[in-house]
Amino acid sequence: MSYPEPRYFGEKGEVNAVFRPADTPAELAAPNGSRTHYLATTESTQGEFGLYRLDMAPRAGGPSTHFHRTISETFFILDGTVRLYNGERWTEAGKGDFLYVPTGGLHGFRNDSDEAASMLLLFAPGAPREEYFEKVGEVARLSPQERTEFFLKHDTYWTD
């Protein structure tokens, strides 16, 4: 394995880093109190990755078993307890625990505890997940065909 082909051809580097203070308000707030922070979007990373912080309300639940055909997904627990599914079993994951799910890997996550939980989600390569996060709460109102189209558009394939 080697480094990718160069994408920057300058001689002196550039000032182009992006800083986001910890107290930046979440871009998305769900009715149950969960919040999603868009730390690094596909647009801001030119498609390299997407990084999001999900602050889950107590008993927020989460998606059941699914997989993605085009992106990997990584979970890093910042605080609280999140149930993670690795394709074989559900595990109670706590602060500092990490799960990498390669493309095609079965996975799911949930907050079933009585306490809030927070985790980082990393998608690679980047994908426009913002629309997914913003509209997934409305899926129940869609027709079966619209629901299928929504999940196909967002590379989400359910197994149950």
pLDDT in tens, 74-91: 999 999 999 999 999 999
Count of residues in the chain: 160
What is the number of domains present in the chain?
1
Domain housing 69:
28-158
Coil, strand or helix: which one is 122? strand
Residue 70 placed within a domain:
yes
Residue 8 in any domain: the answer is: no
Digit-coded pLDDT (tens) for 111-127:
999 999 999 999 999 99
CA distances from 105 to 73, 99, 125 (A): 9, 11, 15
| Geometric angle at alpha carbon 51, from 48 and 53, rounded to 5° | 180
Q: Do residues 78 and 119 make contact, with C-beta atoms less than 8 angstroms apart? A: yes
Q: Note the maximum CA span of the chain.
A: 54
For residue 84, is it within any domain?
yes
Question: Is 3 inside a domain boundary?
Answer: no
Helix (H, G, I), strand (E, B) or coil at 137: helix
Residue 46 is assigned to a structural domain of this protein: yes
In angstroms, what CA-CA distances link 42 with 19, 29, 31, 52, 92?
Answer: 16, 20, 26, 11, 29
22 domain-assigned: no
Instruction: Please indicate, yes or no, if residue 83 is contained in any of the structural domains.
Output: yes
- Reported as a single tens digit per residue, the pLDDT across 19-77 is 999 999 999 999 999 999 999 999 999 999 999 999 999 999 999 999 999 999 999 99
Q: What's the confidence (pLDDT) of residue 158?
A: 95
CATH of residue 64's domain is 2.60.120.10
Grouping H, G, I as helix, E, B as strand and the rest as coil, residue 121 is: strand
pTM score above 0.85: yes
Residue 45 domain-assigned? Answer: yes
Nearest CA-CA partner of 41 in 56, 31, 59, 27: 27
- pLDDT over threshold 90, residue 1: no
